[in-house]
Amino acid sequence: MKKLTAALAALWLCCGIAVGGVTTGSVAGLYESAGSFGQTEPQNKPDQTKASHPAPKASPIEIVRRYLQKLGEPIDTAKSTADMVVSSYTDAKNAKVTIVIVNDKKKDLLGMYVYNFGNLKNAPDADAVARYLLSANDAITIGAFFVDSDKDIGYKYFMNTAQLSLPTFESIYLTMAMVASDRRQEIRKLLGQAPEGTDK
């Protein structure tokens, strides 16, 4: 009887050790396998530390060209340069206004100019023209009329390139075109010139 009891005890101890070992090993293996399913070995990961090179920033004049294309306003490519765009606006009366846009890189400014109002040299009353231009400058919302060194009358506006956006550009462009169209006839009349409705 003692031999039987001893044999049973030995058998139980042996089986318990075996079962415990299998159970513990299997559970550990299960968690390791489960943990490895969502992971990639470090040596197989693609190198994502390299920063991509940003696209070159468009210049203000390039942006202006895009805006004019979006607005459907023609560009005179023959007269335009890398830092200047020559465009024309045609109003409801089929009158054309040429607007020249120049990029001043040093000052970060865009200068917008309209000419073809006439020349002050042969004006019957230069003082009357000057008074009219000053009065016009007080009345208009943007820009100013001026007389250059050759006595040509022009209309100009400057804007900071940092302010350049499609809504802002469209507003300034159209406002300048309308001001130039509205004021041209009276200026030419004061200069003693024939009333011309369009730029050449």
DSSP 48-88: --SPPPPPPPPPHHHHHHHHHHHHT--B-TTT-BTTEEEEE
Domain with residues 60-190, CATH architecture: 2-Layer Sandwich (3.30)
Q: Which class for 157: exposed (0-12), middle (13-18), buried (19 or more C-beta within 10 A)?
A: buried
Structure confidence at residue 169 (pLDDT): 97
Q: Which of 103, 101, 91, 112 is nearest to 185 (CA)?
A: 91
Walk along the chain (200 residues) and give the pLDDT tens digit of each residue.
444 444 444 444 444 444 444 444 444 443 444 344 344 445 555 555 555 666 678 999 999 999 999 999 999 999 999 999 999 999 888 889 999 999 999 999 999 999 999 999 989 999 999 999 999 999 999 999 999 999 999 999 999 999 999 999 999 999 999 999 999 999 999 999 877 654 55
CB 127 within 8 A of CB 85: no
Q: Which class for 53: exposed (0-12), middle (13-18), buried (19 or more C-beta within 10 A)?
A: exposed
- Give pTM, 2 decimals: 0.69
